[in-house]
Amino acid sequence: MFMELLLSFFLILLPFIIALVLLLKFKRRADTTGLATWLVIALLAYFIFNTDLMIILLASIAGIIASFPISLMVGSSILMITYMQQTGALKRVIIFFKTLGGGGSKGFQLMFLNLGLGTFLVSIGATPISILPPIMIALGYNPFIAVALPAIGYDPLTTFALLSIPAVVFADIMGIPLQDAGIIFSYFMPVITTGIAFGMLFIAGGFKELKNVKSIIFALVSGLSAGFVAILVNHIGLTTLTGVFSGFSVMLVTLLLTKVMGYKLKDDSILTDEEKQFAKDYSLLKALSPWAILITLVAITNIDPLYTLLFSDLSFPIGIGEILGDGGAVPAIVLKTRFLWQAYLWVFIATLLSMIFLKHDKEVLSNTVRISFKRALRPIFAASIFFAVAYVLNHSGTRFIDGYWVSALSNPSFDNSDNMINVLSNVTKTYTGDYYALVVPFIGLFGGFVTGSETSAIAMFTRYHKETSIIVGIDPIIIGASNGIGGGLASVLSPAKLANAAAVIDTPGIEGQVIKKTAPIAIILVWVTAVMTFLWTSYSTSNLILMIVVNIILIMIFIVYFMFRKQKNEGSL
């Protein structure tokens, strides 16, 4: 019996092993990898785990629908960025940010652009890995740094990307309020964001940059600002705007530090004559109009009473399949589409409204649609297919009996041994026991690497962690959030994302070099997350994580203070 369980466990892992081989060995894209993963999972579900074929197909369709907040957001954000490119708005914005980077130290440039602006952009649906590499190149950084830093800078707060869609998906799976989910995630942020900030210094300048007191101050203040603002924003109930406020806070504090340290806030001297003329002819306010409109719209729709109306009252649920409950037949899967609240709708509307201020002649619109379709098709499919994989995993072992779906979810007496999630949970509990919490974020890292998305990692493994946590006897919400943090830290290891960043500066093939240098940073921070999760769940107190964060921060502040004081006494400042 135990050998059969181990064999089942290996078979469940097989599709993901194949995915790794396709990504690393054969350099296949995420969409191709995702399709292969789904095919293998579907075959296993049918032939090995006794899942009815129609349920496999319906579960896959449910997964695709559940992916809309991500997949359609990918499409709408690509549409907005492409339109800004075609109208020259994006070029004007890039020129503006180049001038901000010219007058400050390396610490300012790295934190303002990659941690601050990167977090801000990804929170409203833009793509830092497409926008920031050209700016980094223009500031004099080599292609390796220009790819690596935009990819790693927004990693800690990807849970709150796309107006916190990953947190929304997590909350729905867990069956908890969005604010509660956001608060749990936010408690990890001060340590993780500060760790990423110092990791960025190391990538950009090695240990030499880590000894630069001014860079240390920029990293410390930026990381702590992003982390603690995330906690504050979630506690006041603005979870969906966490990334907006955290990213803005980093940009604000770095600008203030630049002023205090005596740097010029703006330096046009690094611009070419052509760029200076373009900036003179093209209004910056006009160029920023798509983002300004979007921020206004999402702010309005994420504040009560409109938020409750669009998110809860008008959730427009879709039911798939039927189970037989005490009160009769009810849907087996209920998906709350919330399409009037979803970010993809408002990104699309903001793009349309920005046409009032930007060019919208026939050629611009035609090129925008054509290029957007070409760019978006494969990423949309990749996001969708991994959600389909997750739903087949979750509903494996389900059977049709008299037209109804029957599984342990609907009938506690049903034999659940054919459910893949149940198999994973039993084996995990057997081999990890009380130390299960230490493994969780590494599973998230794996999921994020394979799928290229924290949201996909959450969709794929959250139910597994929920069931295993209950078996082990620890808080499933903390465990699930830890998995999400691990998935977010995998962004810098995602071949698909790094290939995108490399493509915009015409340096294909640099992805392997980036992964080699950034992987240790991601793994170290995942290990830190694991230790925090273990301590938090072992001592069963919501205050433990805050005590750990505060103690670490105090130690770092004292270290920086004495280093600053020492160099000042030596006349180095």
53-62 mean pLDDT:
95
pLDDT: is 410 or 14 the higher one? 14
- The token pair at 502 is 């490399």
β-bridge pairing 328-336 and 404-406: unpaired
Return the number of other C-beta atoms located less than 10 Å from residue 328's C-beta: 7
409: left (phi over 0), alpha (psi -120 to 50) or beta: alpha
Place 572 in a pLDDT band, splitting at 50, 70 and 90: very low
Residue 108's CB: how many other CB atoms inside 10 A?
A: 24
Q: How confident is the model at residue 549 (pLDDT cuts 50, 70, 90)?
A: low
* Residue environment code for 178-194, b if the CB has 16+ CB neighbours within 10 A, otherwise e: bbebbbbbbbbbbbbbb
Distance CA 504, CA 389 (A): 30
Give the per-residue pLDDT at 506: 64
How far is 138 from 117, CA to CA, in rounded Å?
16
Q: Is the pLDDT score of 180 beyond 70?
A: yes
Q: What is the pLDDT of residues 201-218, one digit of tens each?
A: 988 887 777 888 888 889
For 325, the enclosing helix (H) or strand (E) is: strand 317-325
Q: Is the pLDDT of residue 369 over 90?
A: yes
Q: What share of the chain is helix, strand, coil (3-state, %, to 5)?
A: 75, 5, 20
Q: Report d(CA 537, CA 533) in Å as an integer.
A: 6
Q: What angle do CA 543, 548, 553 make, to 5 degrees?
A: 125
Per the model's pLDDT, the better-predicted residue between 500 and 113 turns out to be 113
Q: What value does the mean pLDDT take over residues 381-407?
A: 88
- Contact between residue 486 and residue 457 where contact means Cβ atoms under 8 Å apart: yes
d(CA 289, CA 504): 23
Q: In sequence order, what are the residues at sequence separation of 6 or more whose Cβ sits closer than 8 angstroms to the Cβ of residue 355?
A: none
Judging by beta carbons within 10 Å of its beta carbon (0-12, 13-18, 19+), is residue 331 exposed, middle or buried?
Answer: middle
Determine the pLDDT at residue 573: 41
- Helix, strand, or coil here: 305? coil
- What confidence tier does 45 reach under pLDDT thresholds 50, 70, 90? very high
Is the bond preceding residue 441 a cis peptide, omega within 30 degrees? no
Cα–Cα distance, 341 to 300 (Å, whole number): 11
Q: Say if residue 206 is exposed, middle or buried (CB neighbours under 10 Å; 0-12, 13-18, 19+).
A: exposed
127 conformational bin, left if phi > 0, alpha if psi -120 to 50, beta if neither = beta
